[in-house]
Amino acid sequence: MTKFTLSGQVVVIAGGSQGLGKEFARKFFQEGTNNTVVVVSRSRTKLQQAVRDISGQESAQELTKATQVRPQESEIVYATCDLADYSQVENLYEILASCSLKPTVVLLCAGGSTPGLFKDLKGSDLELGVKVNYMTCVNLAHIAVRHWQSAHLMFFSSEVAFFPFIGYAQYAPLKQSIKSLVAILRQECPQQRISCVYPGNFDSEGYVLENETKPSITREIEGPSEAISCEECCNRIVRVLNMGYDDITTDLIGWFLMSTDMGMNKQNNVSLGWPLQWLLGIIANLVIVPIYMLICKFQIKKWHSSCEKQE
């Protein structure tokens, strides 16, 4: 297994202009040595601002086929790319190759949620959910397994992949798809280290927007959950990676939810305390989960009745 280190890496970060992706870019650039960090997203303006924020420089360098990469020096550059468009991802690969950059770590952080009832979502919301939460991931991952076979791939799913519930129809199914893709790639690409992170709530631009459309019943089922900072979320992930684990949650509830999901297809699960998770999952699925699901069913039924009275 490839040892995780913050130094001597060529890092490509999808969704690196904000949130957790930006925080990982900061960590590699500021805490590591001899790194080339490439942050990627659709927005040139956000990317430029992110690079300036991280580097402390007044200007930001765009990665092009003419970019000269300085050996033995950490640097951060940006590349604009709509990762949901496969042809643009292929062009990104060609630019990296022309600069003699072969990524050693690829972070697939791009994503975003638009909570809402399925019937209230627009067609454009559903399409965006598929593009931002899955196609951006699968396109870059496909390039990586074809051309960068020694690269460490880090996928970012969500805790709702273990427990999808009302209000997340635009988001949860795609995050579950990432979980399935990771299981398959671990079987097809045993030479690569493949990690999957299942974050809980963390404070970011996306989290603020998510709360603007979140239905009340979704908040009720989620319960009170204080969002940790992007920095703390990033630090927790790095600590677990350093320990050699590749299925990562960022809080206790995520770890518990993962334990209830450890079924027959988890022969390659590599999570912290997995034997305890397996035993806990057996008990939880026999005793705790059925009771909790009855409570959720009651909450949803009560919410529907309340909505009907208001109409």
Catalytic residues: 157, 171, 175
Residues 120, 253: Cα–Cα separation, whole Å: 29
The token pair at 305 is 């009745």
Are 52 and 28 spatial neighbours (Cβ–Cβ below 8 Å)?
A: no
Q: CA dist 117 to 124, 157, 217, 225, 298, Å?
A: 14, 21, 10, 21, 18
- Which residue(s) pair with 82 in the sheet? none
* 131 Cβ contact partners less than 8 Å away, ≥ 6 residues apart: 84
Q: Where are the alpha helices (DSSP H) in 1-56?
A: 19-31, 44-55
For 72, half-sphere exposure in the C-beta direction (CA atoms, 13 angstrom radius) is 0
